[in-house]
C-alpha cells in the first residue's frame, strides 16, 4: 500500500471491524450528547422510549428515530444546536422548502473534521501539497467554496479562492496562476471548457490535472465531455450542508462511486415509504447519522437523495463503503446552477407578492451548459386587460423578488388566465428539459 495516496490511511484503509468499532463508540457518545443537550432529541427519544444506554453499537442504529429537514425548519434557526453559542465558530445555510433557510453550525473542531474530509477528497483525486487548488464553488452561506478551500489548506496545498462567475477571468487565472485542480459544479466545468474553446485556449496551455465536481447530479456522459474539454480527470464529490458540506463522500482513482467518510457519518439506505433499512446494493433513500459533529449532530437524517451503498473491494485500496451517484430525489427539490430550489419557495414568493394567480409552472432547461429557469405565471383576469408596460413591470418585480429572496436569476413570463394546464391530481409544476 502506498501511504502517500491517502490522507487518513488509518481509517480509509481500515478493516471492517475497526470501522464498526470506531462507529459504535462515536455513535454512543453522540446519542448521549444529543440527549443531554438538545431538547428536540430528548423529547423525541423519550417519546420512543429510548435511553442513550440502549444504544450499544452500530447495530442499534435502527432503534433511533429519523430526523427530517422539517425538524430543522421547526427549530429555526439554532434550535437543534448541541453546544452553546460561545462554541459555534461558523454558520452556513441552504434552502429550506419554503421561505426560511436551513441553518447549520460548526464548532472549530467540526471545521477541522470537515477540512479533513475535503482534504481526503482532494488526495483521492490525486492532489498533493504542491498543487494550486482553484475553487470556483460559491463562497458564502453555501458550503461549497469554503469547504474545498479549507480542504486545500488542510492538505498543505495553495487555495485559490476565486468563487463563481466571470468565466473569462476564471480562465485567465487558471492559466496564469498555474492551477492544478479545479473545484466547481460539473455544469460550470462544462461552461468553463466551452468558454476556453471560444477563447482559443487549448487544454495543453493550462496545468489542470483534475477536477472535483459536485453539488448537483451529473452523468457519465457529462464526465466524458468535461474530461475531453479540459484535458483532466473529473471526480465526483457529494455532501449536504445539514450533514457537513462537500466531502461527506468522494470519488477515488477508480471513478466508480464515492467513498463515504464512515468515521464521521454512518450511512443507511432505507425504503422511503416504510422507513425499513435495505440491504447493501439495493437502491433507496440515503440516511446519515453524524458521529463526530459537535454543533449539529443529526441522527438518521433523511437526505431525500436516492442512491445505493455497497462495500465492494475498491481498486484504490480504500475500504470505506461506496455510494453510487445520487440518481434522483424523493421530493421535488431542483438544483439550478448549483442552488437548491423547492417549487414551494417560488410559490411563496409569488403568493406573498399578491400580484398574480397561484397557477404557475417552472420550466428548467440547460442552454450552453448553463441551467435556465423560466417561471410562467397566470395573470389574473383584471391584469389581462392591463397595458404591456404594466405587465412588464410586474414581471420585473417578480424577477427581482426571486433573485433577492432565493438568490436565483429567472425569466418571468406572465401568461393568459387559464392557459396553464390544470391537473386532476397533483399539479405538474415542473417541466425539466435538461438532459444531464
Q: Rounded to the nearest whole angstrom, what is the least distance from the CB of residue 355 to ligand DLL in the complex?
A: 29
Q: Which DSSP letter does residue 112 get?
A: H
Closer residue to ligand DLL in complex, CB, 45/142: 142
Q: Rounded to the nearest whole angstrom, what is the least distance from the CB of residue 342 to ligand DLL in the complex?
A: 12
Q: Rounded to the nearest whole angstrom, what is the least distance from the CB of residue 213 to ligand DLL in the complex?
A: 7
Choose, by CB under 6 A, the member of 119, 181, 215, 350 that binds ligand DLL: 215
Binders of ligand DLL in range 142-171 (CB under 6 A): 142-144
* Interaction of residue 245 with ligand DLL, rule CB under 6 A: yes
Say if residues 365 and 372 touch (Cβ distance below 8 Å): yes
Give the binding range for ligand DLL (CB under 6 A) out of 38-46, 141-149, 173-181, 397-405: 141-149
CA–CA dist 286, 413 (Å, integer): 37
Angle in degrees, CA 327, 329, 335, rounded to 5: 90
Q: Rounded to the nearest whole angstrom, what is the least distance from the CB of residue 60 to ligand DLL in the complex?
A: 26
Closer residue to ligand DLL in complex, CB, 151/193: 151
**Residues sharing a CB contact under 8 Å with residue 191, sequence separation 6 or more, in sequence order:** 167, 368, 369, 370
* Interaction of residue 217 with ligand DLL, rule CB under 6 A: yes
- Phi, psi (degrees; rounded to nearest 5) at 433: -90, 5
Give the binding range for ligand DLL (CB under 6 A) out of 59-67, 135-143, 171-179, 354-362: 135-143
* Interaction of residue 296 with ligand DLL, rule CB under 6 A: no
Beta strands 233-240 and 210-214: pairing type? parallel
Say if residues 171 and 162 touch (Cβ distance below 8 Å): no
β-bridge mates for residue 370, sequence order:
367
* Interaction of residue 305 with ligand DLL, rule CB under 6 A: yes
Helix (H) or strand (E) holding 398: helix 388-406
The terminus-to-terminus CA distance of the chain in angstroms comes to 37
Closer residue to ligand DLL in complex, CB, 332/386: 332
CA–CA dist 19, 165 (Å, integer): 41
Angle in degrees, CA 134, 138, 143, rounded to 5: 100
Give the binding range for ligand DLL (CB under 6 A) out of 66-74, 236-244, 273-281, 405-413: 236-244
Choose, by CB under 6 A, the member of 6, 41, 132, 137 that binds ligand DLL: 137
β-bridge mates for residue 343, sequence order:
none
β-bridge mates for residue 145, sequence order:
none
CA–CA dist 318, 322 (Å, integer): 10
Q: Rounded to the nearest whole angstrom, what is the least distance from the CB of residue 302 to ligand DLL in the complex?
A: 10
- Coil, strand or helix at 113: helix
* Interaction of residue 237 with ligand DLL, rule CB under 6 A: yes
Binders of ligand DLL in range 65-104 (CB under 6 A): 94
- Tell me the site size for ligand DLL, rule CB under 6 A: 24
Q: Rounded to the nearest whole angstrom, what is the least distance from the CB of residue 63 to ligand DLL in the complex?
A: 25
Choose, by CB under 6 A, the member of 240, 336, 362, 420 that binds ligand DLL: 240
Binders of ligand DLL in range 326-355 (CB under 6 A): 326, 329, 335, 340
Here the cell at position 49 is 422510549
Q: What is the side-by-side strand order in the sheet with 284-290?
A: 265-270, 284-290, 301-307, 328-329
Beta strands in 74-232 (DSSP E): 90-94, 102-106, 132-135, 158-161, 181-184, 210-214
Q: Rounded to the nearest whole angstrom, what is the least distance from the CB of residue 336 to ligand DLL in the complex?
A: 11
Give the binding range for ligand DLL (CB under 6 A) out of 230-238, 363-371, 376-384, 386-394: 230-238
Query: For binding to ligand DLL (CB under 6 A), which residues are involved?
Result: 94, 137, 142-144, 214-217, 236-241, 245-246, 303, 305, 325-326, 329, 335, 340
Amino acid at each position: 500500500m502506498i501511504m502517500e495516496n491517502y490522507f487518513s490511511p488509518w481509517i480509509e484503509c481500515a478493516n471492517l471491524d475497526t470501522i464498526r468499532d470506531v462507529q459504535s463508540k462515536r455513535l454512543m457518545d453522540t446519542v448521549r450528547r444529543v440527549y443531554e443537550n438538545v431538547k428536540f432529541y430528548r423529547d423525541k427519544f423519550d417519546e420512543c422510549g429510548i435511553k442513550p444506554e440502549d444504544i450499544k453499537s452500530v447495530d442499534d442504529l435502527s432503534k433511533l428515530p429519523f430526523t427530517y429537514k422539517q425538524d430543522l425548519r421547526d427549530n429555526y434557526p439554532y434550535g437543534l444546536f448541541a453546544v452553546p453559542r460561545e462554541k459555534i465558530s461558523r454558520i452556513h445555510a441552504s434552502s429550506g422548502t419554503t421561505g426560511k433557510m436551513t441553518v447549520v453550525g460548526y464548532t472549530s473542531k467540526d471545521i477541522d473534521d470537515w477540512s479533513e474530509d475535503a482534504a481526503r477528497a482532494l488526495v483521492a483525486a490525486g492532489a498533493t501539497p504542491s498543487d494550486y487548488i482553484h475553487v470556483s464553488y460559491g463562497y458564502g452561506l453555501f458550503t461549497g467554496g469554503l469547504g474545498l478551500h479549507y480542504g486545500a489548506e488542510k492538505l498543505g496545498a495553495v487555495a485559490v479562492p476565486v468563487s463563481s462567475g466571470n468565466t473569462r477571468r476564471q480562465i485567465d487565472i487558471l492559466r496564469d496562476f498555474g492551477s492544478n485542480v479545479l473545484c466547481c459544479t460539473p455544469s460550470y466545468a462544462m461552461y468553463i471548457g466551452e468558454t476556453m474553446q471560444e477563447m482559443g485556449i487549448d487544454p495543453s496551455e493550462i496545468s489542470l490535472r483534475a477536477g472535483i465536481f459536485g453539488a448537483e447530479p451529473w452523468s457519465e456522459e457529462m464526465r466524458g465531455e468535461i474530461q475531453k474539454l479540459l484535458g483532466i480527470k473529473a471526480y465526483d464529490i457529494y455532501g449536504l450542508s445539514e450533514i457537513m458540506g462537500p466531502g461527506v463522500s468522494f470519488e477515488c482513482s477508480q471513478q466508480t462511486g464515492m467513498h463515504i467518510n464512515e468515521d464521521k457519518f454512518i450511512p443507511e439506505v432505507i425504503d422511503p415509504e416504510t422507513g425499513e433499512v435495505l440491504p447493501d446494493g439495493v437502491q433507496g433513500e440515503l440516511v446519515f447519522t453524524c458521529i463526530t459533529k459537535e454543533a449539529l449532530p443529526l441522527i438518521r437524517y433523511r437526505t431525500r437523495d436516492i442512491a445505493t451503498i455497497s462495500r465492494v473491494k475498491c481498486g484504490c485500496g480504500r475500504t470505506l463503503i461506496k455510494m453510487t451517484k445520487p440518481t434522483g430525489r424523493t421530493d421535488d427539490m431542483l438544483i439550478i446552477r448549483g442552488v437548491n430550489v423547492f417549487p414551494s419557495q417560488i410559490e411563496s414568493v409569488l403568493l406573498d407578492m399578491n400580484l398574480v394567480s397561484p397557477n404557475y409552472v417552472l420550466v428548467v432547461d440547460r442552454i450552453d451548459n448553463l441551467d435556465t429557469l423560466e417561471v410562467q405565471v397566470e395573470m389574473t383576469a383584471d391584469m389581462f386587460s392591463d397595458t404591456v408596460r404594466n405587465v412588464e413591470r410586474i414581471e420585473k418585480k417578480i424577477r427581482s423578488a426571486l433573485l433577492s429572496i432565493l438568490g436565483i436569476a429567472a425569466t418571468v413570463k406572465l401568461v393568459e388566465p387559464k392557459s396553464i394546464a390544470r391537473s386532476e391530481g397533483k399539479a405538474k409544476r415542473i417541466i425539466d428539459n435538461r438532459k444531464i
